Chain A
Amino acid sequence: MSGRGGATRGLLEGGRWHFQHGPIDLIIEVEGEPVIEDCWREFQGVLPALVAELPALRQAAHRHPGVSGGIARRMLAACAPFAAERFITPMAAVAGAVADELLGACARPGVRRASINNGGDIALWLTAGTAYRIGIWSQVERLVPRAPAVSPLDALFSIDAKSPVRGVATSGWRGRSQSLGIADSVTVLARTAAAADAAATLIANAVNCDAPGILRAPAVSVKDDSDLGERLVTVAVPPLPVTAIAEALAQGRAEALRWQQRGLLEGAVLCLQGQIEIVAPVAAAPPVPVAPATAMEAA
């Protein structure tokens, strides 16, 4: 299905669509009016437009000269609030920004509920009375596809129409993107997927400690053209002592609270080797943690 050349799409079970073009993988779920053709038409222009501005998008977001495309501007806008204090390039929000932009094509009258999941960075469209339940698996390898009941969910939360959250994004060293930190996953809830994506990137970078056995390598030695340049990214994390896990999660929590206080994110869930740290949304029901013991039994 994902051949060489242009964008491709396929219908998945349950009426969901899979769109793919180069590094972009979207899972799209729309309940209501058939808007998928509009979404598909728009999708085919996404990657060429991004590629046209790629050099600018790989520059630090601080004092950035600006970009012109719709998605590119979403990316820069999402990263700019962090840029004076942290190294960040607009690329930190690329996945979330793509999801946000394409959700625009789905957000029509008659659509009850829609989601676009771009490799774990999710943009949501909710109407009154609807909600999404979102679960986190921090270590996909432990997933037991046949028996979801025993699958080791690390956290589970519900987002309803009353919540300001419309974006959920996850970052960590294991995924396709690179991280300066050691988190298995940092999931951020924010008002847009792009904002969540940028914040998750920075918080995942902050989940860190100096335990022996953690392997790091210059970003460009792992991935050509990395926007992180010579910065050291994590390539392997051994089983860590509990003190190291606690220290790393505390660093991440501090970073998450910093940005939450500025109103840049609603909440966050930080996972590191079965330990979970939750930064609850202010004045809202916190995500429900799932006991790690269950997770371990399932593995």
Chain B
Amino acid sequence: MNELPAGHTRIDQVSEDVEPALPRVVAGKVRCDACPVLCQISPGRSGACDRWGNVAGKLTRLESLVLTQAGEPAGGTFLTGVGAGTTYPDYKPAPFIVSSRHDDVDMVTVVTEGIFSYCSFKVKIDTDRHLGAEQSSIRHRGEIVGHVTTAEYGSQMLSIGGVHHLTGGSKKEGRATCELMAALGNKQAVEVSIDGGANLTIQAGAAPLVNGVPEQRMRVGCGSATIGIFAQQWRGLVDEVVVVDDHITGVLSEHQAGRYLGIPPSGIELKGRRSTPGRYFKVANPGVGWGGTDIQEPLSIIAGFDHSISWHGMRLLMVSTTGEHAEYFVLDEALRPQAATMPDALRTVVERIADNCEPAVATVLFVAGAGGSLRAGVTESPVELTRAIKQGRVNVTCGGAPAYVWPGGGITVMVDVARMPERSFGTVPTPAIVAPIEFTLSLDAFRDLGGHMASVQPLADVLAQQAERITRVPSVNPWPVGAKAWLG
């Protein structure tokens, strides 16, 4: 090989010539252009410098320490666990044990990142649309990463991640789960599919996409509740109202609310199974049509009209529980419903249904067990930490966000990822999830529970020594120092 000319001139030559000769970026990797090494980085790994990494397909600055800053107390600074590093192997003191003052009491915050195998995300998706049967598997990149769990009022619930998918299945399953969890926790949009159900795009705090269509609204209530809310406003404007809902479809004239208002029977006969007067189960199958059913044509759920009761000119409104779908009919001479223009006064009430629906969002809660060995980073007697938390002497936060501490044994915490700083979550190849966690308590309490006193540093010193790594973010949370733990 020939000698290259030495010195500064070579820089320009090299940086221009090297780039085109590089191999294509392999699928799933990102190429870092932070320096001339141009690392190609696989998901979940870092480049040669360990400063930049591939976090769920995005080139990301790693290991910055995140400070949350609060309005109260004025100028307050709280060091979060984001980027702190972990205590592994566990007997070492946590990466940062910092002291500060609050109301003239010396406070200590033990700041660390936990490596969690036992952790999951509970995702609430505000929709009545059928996303998949309870217990159905949820997949990401073809691997099973969670399941559909018990639905809640107006929302479908998913459980994603967890130890059995992270480490209990195949390597591929573990990696897919880990990648998905980190992305979900970091408030990125992720795609999953439900076996026998919908394809979803979910992102914490954003409208969920069901089969590619953004979900608009959460229903105002079930069909029966909708009748109850709006019955009085419909009186006089229409003779019969059917509120189509996958759970309970309501019929105004039969419903207790309609009877109470003196609305006469209309002779309408619905498909499905009558539960109590004016309330019908299973008028159709679950789906992504009207009111979480599979119907596109509302008249298909009407079995017929009783000719001894119904009348020519009878006005019928069919509407879904979100007001998203609504059609108006008038019965002809043969008592067949004919579509007609909806009167403005009636349309106003339909629009009010929509107005009363809250925007549909996906919310993501991180659930993790911190009751294990990471406690050794705080104290030499881990159960003392657990007890102190249960006694309300220690506040627990994740990235400065308040964490609900589940009752019973251990330290099982639940936290809204939307309240956590950006890129709070990371991964390790185990695979497992890395998440920040902070324990805040008075210095006296810290001493009492056998805390690593020799490792306590003033906050100002940590800030000075770690200045390059510090990222400041505004806090949206109650001030963690001096606050009580959120105990179950």
Residues of A within 8 A of B (CB): 1-2, 4-6, 21-23, 41-42, 44-45, 47-49, 51-52, 54, 65-70, 139, 141-142, 144-146, 150, 176, 215, 217, 221-225, 235-239, 297-299
Contacts and interface: CB of A to CB of B under 8 A. Distances in A.
Interface of B: 1-4, 6-8, 10-11, 14-15, 18, 29, 33-42, 45-51, 85, 87-89, 91-93, 95, 429-430, 452, 454-455, 457-458, 461, 465, 468
Contact of A49 (B14, B430, B465, B468): B14
A68 B3 contact: yes
Contacts of B36: 21-22, 47-48, 51
A74 to B, nearest CB: 13
Contacts of B38: 51
A224 B29 contact: yes
Given A21-B35, A224-B45, A235-B429, 11 more contacts: A4-B35, A21-B36, A23-B35, A23-B37, A47-B37, A68-B2, A142-B92, A222-B429, A224-B47, A236-B88, A299-B92
List 7 A-B pairs, minimum CB-CB distance, nearest first. A22-B35, A23-B49, A23-B48, A48-B14, A4-B34, A51-B36, A68-B1
Given A68-B4, A141-B95, A224-B42, A237 B89 contact: yes
A256 B366 CA distance: 48
Q: Which of A21, A23, A41, A42 has the most CB of B within 10 A?
A: A23
Contacts of A145: 457, 461, 465
Contacts of B35: 4-6, 21-23, 47
A299 B11 contact: no
B101 to A, nearest CB: 16
A146 B456 CA distance: 9
B15 A48 contact: yes
B92 A51 contact: no
B18 A66 contact: no
17 contacts: A2-B51, A4-B35, A22-B35, A23-B47, A47-B35, A48-B10, A51-B18, A51-B36, A51-B37, A141-B85, A144-B455, A145-B457, A145-B461, A224-B29, A224-B42, A224-B47, A225-B40
Given A22-B36, A52-B14, A68-B3, A298 B429 contact: no
A224 B14 contact: no
Contacts of A23: 35, 37, 47-50
Contacts of B457: 144-146
A150 B2 CA distance: 54
Contact of B92 (A67, A141, A146): A141
Contacts of B18: 48, 51-52
Contacts of A4: 33-35
A70 B5 CA distance: 10
B88 A48 contact: no
Contact of A239 (B39, B42, B50, B89): B89
Nearest to A240: B89
Q: Which of A70, A223, A298: most chain B Cβ within 10 A?
A: A223
Nearest to B452: A299
A70 B49 CA distance: 22
A298 B454 contact: yes
